[in-house]
Structure 1
Amino acid sequence: MINELNLHNHFCRYDSDKVSNFSVDMLSANYWQAKDAITGSAQGRGTTWFIQYQSNESNSPVQQWVLRHYYRGGLIGKVINDSYFFTGIDHTRAAKEFALLHHLQSLNLPAPLPIAFGVKRSSLFYQADLLSSRIENAQDLVAILSKQTLDGVIWQRIGATIKRFHKHNIYHHDLNAHNILLDDKQQVFIIDFDQGEVKNCSNTAWKQGNIARLKRSFEKENNKLPEFNFTQPNWQQLITGYNK
C-alpha cells in the first residue's frame, strides 16, 4: 500500500502498512529527537539515525527504522552539500532507491524494507530523505572484523549472498565492507542502495567491478585499522561462495 503526500514543496511516498499516520515531519531527525525515539546513530557522509517507532493503534508492533539524508560525495559535495538538480520525482535518488528496495523485497533478497521517502523542492533543486527498516541485531563487517575472525562458512555465505543479487542483475553502486551486515544468526544482508539499479544489458563486466570494489574496501580497512581480521584466504573463501 504505497501512498503519496503532496504538501507545498514536499513530495512523499510511504508504505501505509508500515506507517498509518505518516507526516512529512517523520523525515526529520528533530521530530524523532523531540519524541525521544532515537536509539543511536552512525557517521558516514552524514549522520544516519536509528529510530524506534510504534503507531498509536492498539497492539501495533515496535519497528526499528533508519533515517538517512542524501549527501553528495567527492569534490562537488564540498560545494553543493545535499542539493541535486530536479528532473522529476521518479528521477530523484530517494525515489529510485525506494523503488529498488521494493523490487529487492519482491525477489526475496536480504535488504532493508522501504518505509518512506521525501523530496523537498527549492527552485531547480531538491533535497531528499529516506526511511527504511533497520536490520535487527546486526553489525557491519568492519565492526565485526575489528573484533573477531569469521570462519570459512560465513565468508562463503557472504560471497553466495552477493551472487544472489548479481543473478538478478542488481547493481550496488558502493559495495564495501560497511554495507554488508551479519545478524546474530549469521545471516548476511546488504544495505545502502543509493544509485543502485537493475542492469538490463548483456555486458556483465560491472559484476566483476562490484567484486573488485569490495576487495579494495577490505584492503583499505586492513591498512587503516590497528586490528582488522581479513586475510587473502578469507577473500578466496568469499570468491568460492560467489562461484558456487
Structure 2
Amino acid sequence: MNLRPKVNYQQLEADNNYYFFNPKSAPDFQPDYFSSNYWQQRNAIIGSAQGRGTTWFISYEEQSWVLKHYYRGGLVGKVLKDGYLYTGLNQARSVAEFTLLNKLTTLNLPVPKPIACSVIRKGFYYQADLITSKIENAKDLVGILENQSIDKRLWREVGKTIQQFHHHGVYHHDLNIHNILIDSEEKVWIIDFDRGEIRKPAQQWQQANMARLKRSFLKEQKRLNNFNWQQSEFESLLLGYQLTR
C-alpha cells in the first residue's frame, strides 16, 4: 500500500516541513491550524479531551474539527514524548493515518473525514499532528455505558459495523471501546486509526482485534463502579459481526 495521500488533498512544503490538507474542507489552510494557541486566540476552542496529551475540539466556520498531536507511549515516550525517527514521508504516522482515512471515506465506511496533517522535521526525528472532522452528537461506548445500557439490536449494529471494516481488510491497531462512537441517530462510528492499515482479510488478525475489544470491556468493568455491561452482551455484538459475513 502506498501511503502517500492520493485523493482530495493538496501538499504544502515549508522549511523542510510537510503539510497535507483537503482544500474543500480547509480552503484557507495555513500551518498555524495545528497550533492550539492559534485557535484559542480566535475563541474557536469548543472543548477538549485528555489522553496521552490534549485533543482539541475546534469550531471552524460551520465545521467542527478534532486536532490531535501524536505522543509516544511506554518507556520510550518518557524520553522522546512526541518525537519519532524520520524514515521517510510515507512512513510518518500522521501521513499514514490521513491517507488511510481518505481511503476509508472513499469506501463509505463510518470514520471521521480527514482534514489535514503535518510532519515537522526535527533533525533525525519528526513531530506530527492530524485534524479530522468531529463526529457530531456522539459519545464513545465508555461514556454511554457509564450512564445507561444499550439493547441487543444496537449491540448487533456495533458488531455489524466492525465486520464492515474487516470485510475491507481494515486493521485497527487499538480497537477498544474508547474508539467506538454512537451518535444520536444510533449510527456507529470508529475513530483513531493510528498505525492502522489495509491488510488481506485473515481470521487470525481479525480474531485478535475482537479479543482486544473484549479485553477493553473487561478492563472498564473492573475500573468503573457504574458500568452497564455484561459479558453476555458481547455475544450480541459477535452475533451482529457474524451475521454480516
Name the TM-score, length of structure 2 as normaliser: 0.95
Tell me the SS of whatever aligns to 2:128: strand
For 2:229 and 2:185, the matched residues in 1 are separated by 21
Report the equivalent of 2:68.
68
Cα deviation for residue 203 of structure 1 reads 4.0
1:172-194 deviations in Å (ceiling 9; x for gaps)? 00000000000000110000000
C-alpha distance in 1 between matches for 2:165 and 2:59: 29
Instruction: Return the letter of the residue paired with 1:34.
Output: Q
Q: Deviations over 1:88-112 (max 9, x none)?
A: 1111000000000000001100000
Cα deviation 1:57-107 (Å, max 9, x = unaligned): xxxxx0010000000111111111000000111110000000000000011
Counterpart position of 2:223 = 224
Is residue 33 of structure 2 the alignment partner of residue 26 of structure 1?
A: yes
- Partner of residue 58, structure 2: 51
Matches within 5 A, 1:60-209: 62-200=62-200, 203-209=202-208
Q: For residues 159 and 167 of structure 1, what CA distance do their matches in structure 2 show?
A: 12
Query: What is the rounded CA distance, in whole Å, between the counterparts of 1:186 and 1:197 in structure 2?
Result: 26
Q: Distance in 2 between matches of 1:176 and 1:65?
A: 22
Letter in 1 for 2:167: K
Cα distance in 1 for partners of 2:191, 2:119 equals 21
SS at structure 1 position matched to 2:64: strand
Q: Which moved more, 1:71-80 or 1:177-186?
A: 71-80
Distance in 2, Cα, partners of 1:19 & 1:189: 23
Q: 2:202 & 2:227 partners in 1: Cα distance? A: 35
> Is the counterpart of residue 37 in structure 1 residue 37 in structure 2?
no
The superposition leaves residues 12-71 of structure 1 with CA deviations (integer Å, 9 ceiling, x where unpaired) of 0000010111000001111111111000001111111000001xxxxxxx0010000000
- State the one-letter code of the partner of 1:240: L
Aligned-partner Cα distance in 1 for 2:233–2:102 = 32
- What is the DSSP-based 3-state SS (H/G/I as helix, E as strand, rest coil) of the residue aligned with 1:206? helix
Per the alignment, residue 233 of structure 2 pairs with 234
Counterpart in the other structure of 1:58: none
- Please list every run of at least 4 consecutive aligned residues from structure 1 whose deviation after the TM superposition is greater than 6 angstroms: none
Q: Contact between 1:9 and 1:122, CA under 8 Å: does it hold in 2?
A: no
**Rounded Cα–Cα distance in structure 2 between residues aligned with 1:9 and 1:25:** 16
Q: Structure 1: how far apart are the matches of 2:116 and 2:94?
A: 9
Measure, in 2, the Cα distance between the counterparts of 1:19 and 1:134. Answer: 14
| In 1, Cα distance between equivalents of 2:43 and 2:203 | 46
Partner of 2:3: none
Where 2:208 maps in the other structure, the secondary structure is helix
Deviation at 1:9, TM superposition (A): 3.3
What are structure 2's unaligned runs of at least 5 residues?
1-7
Match of 2:19 in 1: 12
